[in-house]
Amino acid sequence: MTLEHSEAGLPETDTSHPLTAGAPVKPEAPTFAELGVREEIVRALAEAGIERTFAIQELTLPLALAGDDLIGQARTGMGKTLGFGVPLLQRLQTPGDGTPQALVVVPTRELCLQVSADLRDAGKHMGGRVLSIYGGRPYEPQVAALRKGVDIVVGTPGRLLDLAEQKHLVLGKVRGLVLDEADEMLDLGFLPDIERILRMVPDQRQTMLFSATMPGPIITLARTFLTQPTHIRAEENDASAVHERTEQFVYRAHSLDKIEVVARSLQAEGRGLTMVFTRTKRTAQKVADELTERGFAAGAVHGDLGQGAREQALRAFRSGKVDVLVCTDVAARGIDVTDVTHVINYQCPEDEKTYVHRIGRTGRAGKTGVAVTLVDWDEEPRWKSISDALGLGKPAPVETYSTSAHLFADLGIPAGSTGRLPIGMRTRAGLDAEPEEDFGGKRRRGESAAPTRARRVRATGASRARANTEAAASRPAAAAAPDEAGEGDSRPRRRRRRRGGAEDGAEGTTATASSVTAEPTQGEAPADNKPARARRRRRRSGADVAGEPGANTGDTPGGAD
């Protein structure tokens, strides 16, 4: 994969991220053609096996195709991408003049790649140019792609704002704007950036906002920047936020035994692609490394990895080279793989919303899934609040160990399974089979993490003082040391005022320099340096440097020697 292709999302020849079809929500759902979608888009979707609409698409497309502003609300995995992507493609003018006609703002890099690939696949017969812009990549290829010309830009708020303020990204001709996963952007603190971007685009535009939940600040944002929007929900108001097609198991497990529980759970019958979620970046990498050592084909996605390593793991996961992806919540919204059969919460989620988004990675597109949550002893109060908020009826997790009989029975783990994958079952190519792009200066998998800017800012005053002291101590030594040619410092020495008002080196710079007696080399007569020897004799006899009699009071002898 070349860098130019990756900056635009994914190349057309990449099959690791296809636009896939799932079972429609209703067999009698209308087709895209029946809703008036352009023939080129219908043909591209049909080639991917997509013919009928999901519930959110069925409700949003008539309004969105007419150019109305709308708010689409549906739980994750319900097909929101095509709900706003098809209307954007429908109104696209091709060939364009190279100035972006549509803008899609997403919270995470992974979701940026996901949406870009789906739009590119759905509009491949239209000749539209889709560009993904996000952090962690060099600026230069993205700027070059913008200068070459694009039709639809999909990006994260920070990098979009940077390029727009530098005048590389022109937003003056944007006629369609989409805010995807708006509640996640609120949680990540992107709301001020979103408001600045909204003020850069023309007032005459179509704006679509999609979100799984509608907190107060998002409602305020919609009222401020959308024009008479229609609020669409793809399910009943009292419908549960948790997927009914996902079978959920909750176990109270000891932290030292969790990796054994996970290793046995990964040997369950019928298990396909699996995502393991952790709360911290360090835990994610640790779990991925331990599972790899135990014979599983595992990869990791977290913030301490460079963008190249993150994309390498995602491509390997989508293509099946690895079947276990260990990640933090940064990937909970950005990965859309319909074949994920199991989700394992290695650490209890922070709240009920995080839990819903995590287990929403499985049970997608009409398929069933399994969600396993491991709760430590100190996490029980947090889990109880999650269970009560979602009405799960599981406030007290069952105490479970890696050898517990009910664990094997619940998940369908073959009897006799251990914490290591048998040699005969290690059939995946593994993470190393997927090439990693090198962006220059980024960390690769397995390298020690360099201190981040946040860590440098949080350096203690004691460590800074210690560093300054060591630097100050090293400077005089470096100045006094002779260079490799055997010559001393060529700078003139500072005259030092000594007792009695006389100056050390009264003869001037030349005399002071001559006080440094050079050692004679073998076979060479010593140089005649009578003034220097006379001064040393006077110092030893108690006279001062100027030659006047006086007691030696303990001053350091030979200040210039």
pLDDT value at residue 154: 97
With a cut of 90, say whether residue 95 has pLDDT above it: no
Residue 451 has a pLDDT of: 39
Q: Strand 152-155 relative to strand 298-301: parallel, antiparallel, unpaired?
A: unpaired
| Model pLDDT, residue 89 | 95
Do 176 and 133 fall within a single domain? Answer: yes
The residue range of the domain holding 302 is 246-445
In a domain, 495, yes or no: no
Average pLDDT, the chain: 78
The pLDDT assigned to 242 comes to 61
pLDDT at 91 over 80: yes
Give the pLDDT of residue 530. 57
> Do 228 and 342 belong together in one domain?
no
Provide the whole-model pTM: 0.64
In tens, the pLDDT along 154-169 reads 999 999 999 999 999 9
* Residue that terminates a domain, selected from 402, 427, 445: 445
Same domain, yes or no, for 295 and 217?
A: no
pLDDT-wise least confident of 1-5, 52-56, 221-225? 1-5
pLDDT at 83 over 70: yes
Question: Residue 347 pLDDT > 90, yes or no?
Answer: yes
Same domain flag for 380 and 419: yes
DSSP H/E element including 398 = strand 398-399
Answer yes or no: do 227 and 250 share one domain.
no
Burial of 20 (0-12, 13-18, 19+ CB in 10 A): middle
Q: Are residues 333 and 196 in the same domain?
A: no
Would you say residue 515 lies in a domain?
no
83 within a domain of the structure (yes/no): yes
Distance CA 295, CA 262 (A): 13
297 and 200, same structural domain? no
Instruction: Give the C-alpha separation, 94 to 64, whole Å.
Output: 19
Domain final residue pick, 209, 233, 257: 233
Domain presence at residue 481: no
Q: List all residues 6 or more positions away from 372 whose beta carbon is below 8 Å from its beta carbon.
A: 248, 249, 250, 251, 265, 342, 343, 344, 345, 411
In this prediction, residue 537 carries a pLDDT of 63
Residue 365 pLDDT: 62
Q: What is the secondary structure of 112-172 as a DSSP string?
A: HHHHHHHHHHHTTTTT--EEEE-TTS-HHHHHHHHHH--SEEEE-HHHHHHHHHTTSS--T
Residue 79 pLDDT grade (very low, low, confident, very high; cuts 50, 70, 90): confident
Q: Last residue of some domain: 445, 480, 504?
A: 445
- What CATH number is associated with residue 7? 3.40.50.300
Per-residue model confidence (pLDDT) at position 263: 97
Q: How many Cβ atoms sit within 10 Å of the Cβ of residue 202?
A: 11
Clarify whether residues 229 and 256 are in a common domain.
Answer: no
With a cut of 80, say whether residue 241 has pLDDT above it: no
Q: What is the CA radius of gyration of the chain?
A: 34
Judge if 225 and 255 occupy the same domain: no
Q: Is residue 454 part of a domain?
A: no
Our count of domains for the chain comes to 2
Identify which has the larger pLDDT, 197 or 23.
Answer: 197
In this structure, is the dihedral angle defined by the CA atoms of residues 543, 545, 548 and 554, taken in order, positive or negative?
negative
What local confidence, expressed as pLDDT, does residue 311 receive?
A: 87
> CA–CA separation, 190 vs 155, rounded Å?
13
Q: Are residues 13 and 133 in the same domain?
A: yes
- Whether residue 483 lies inside any domain: the answer is no
477 in any annotated domain: no
In this structure, are 208 and 108 located in the same domain? Answer: yes
Residues 304 and 440 in one domain: yes
CA distance to 56, 292, 317, 417, per residue, from 422 (Å):
44, 13, 21, 9
Q: Are 283 and 346 spatial neighbours (Cβ–Cβ below 8 Å)?
A: yes
What pLDDT shows up at residue 73? 86
- Per-residue pLDDT of 27-37, as tens digits, reads 678 999 999 99
- 264 domain residue, yes or no: yes
Per-residue model confidence as pLDDT tens digits over 476-530: 444 444 444 444 444 555 555 555 544 444 444 444 444 444 444 444 444 455 5
Q: pLDDT tens-digit profile of 526-537? A: 445 556 666 666
